[in-house]
Structure 1
Amino acid sequence: MEIYDKANALAESIQACSEYKQLLEAGNALAQDEKTTRMVREFLMLQAQLAYAQSMGDKPIRKKTEQLNKMSEMIKNNQAAVDYLQKYNTWQSLAGNVFQIIQNAMAEGMSILD
């Protein structure tokens, strides 16, 4: 089917994308230091938890915000962490845009759920 061919072509394009390759390289560099890897993982988890709490309208988010700010200060002093997070955010933005294009293409078929 043509759609599978296009999906495979998209997968190949992702693998060849410079932003994706840069993310992988930054991830490999980050993996050289377990402590930094753990710190970045915790930072991203905390960031996601905070975003979820805010989206759900949770009020007691001050503690998570303070934790995130403290971690941000530690990360600023670690070049491997900064490099990875910059590449991660660039890739997340690009991948989000691609995903949005795909969702928009399928929206009409899902309109019955509205």
Structure 2
Amino acid sequence: MELYDKANELAKAIQNCKEYVELVEAGKVLAEDEKTAHLVQDFLIMQAQLAYAESMGNKPIRKKIEQLNRMAEQLRKNETAMAYLQKYNRWQAMAGEVYQVIQNAMAEGMSILDK
């Protein structure tokens, strides 16, 4: 049970984390502008799709990269979008590091998959 207790502590720590709280607040502000919120969502989805395709060994499609760049240019002109994306990127980096710590702690038990 101690592991579950620690997991619940981690969940509370996440919810109280300054970077996470700022992301949630920026998300609320972003949600007030539906058009910008959709643009940010589309941008993040396309960015993830391109990253996934690249990780699978596929070369990014030039047309998609150009589209992503056009979207990024639009977003750069929007303070609300940029504020959200900055907080989103900061949180993603932090969450990734936390996930890596957890993954490393479980690595030995998963080592059979390395063969």
Confirm or deny a common fold (TM above 0.5): yes
Q: Which runs of 5+ in 2 are unaligned?
A: none
CA apart distance, 1:113: 1.4
State the 1:56 CA deviation. 1.8
Q: Would the aligned equivalents of 1:53 and 1:61 in 2 still touch at CA under 8 Å? A: no
Pair 11,36 (structure 1): closer, same or farther in 2 beyond 3 Å: same
What residue identity is the alignment partner of 1:26? A
In structure 2, what residue type is equivalent to 1:59?
K
- Rounded Cα–Cα distance in structure 1 between residues aligned with 2:53 and 2:7: 34
Cα distance in 1 for partners of 2:2, 2:74 equals 49
CA-CA distance at 1:60 after TM superposition: 5.1
Q: Deviations over 1:21-59 (max 9, x none)?
A: 000000000000100000000000110111111112223
Equivalenced residue count is 114
Q: How does 1:77-92 map to 2 (within 5 A)?
A: 77-92=77-92
Matches within 5 A, 1:1-114: 1-59=1-59, 61-114=61-114
* Aligned-residue identity in percent: 67
CA separation in 2, counterparts of 1:93 and 1:21? 15
1:101 maps to a residue whose letter is V
CA distance in 2, matches of 1:76, 1:60: 22
Deviation, 1:112, is 1.1
Amino acid in the other structure paired with 2:26: A
RMSD: 0.8
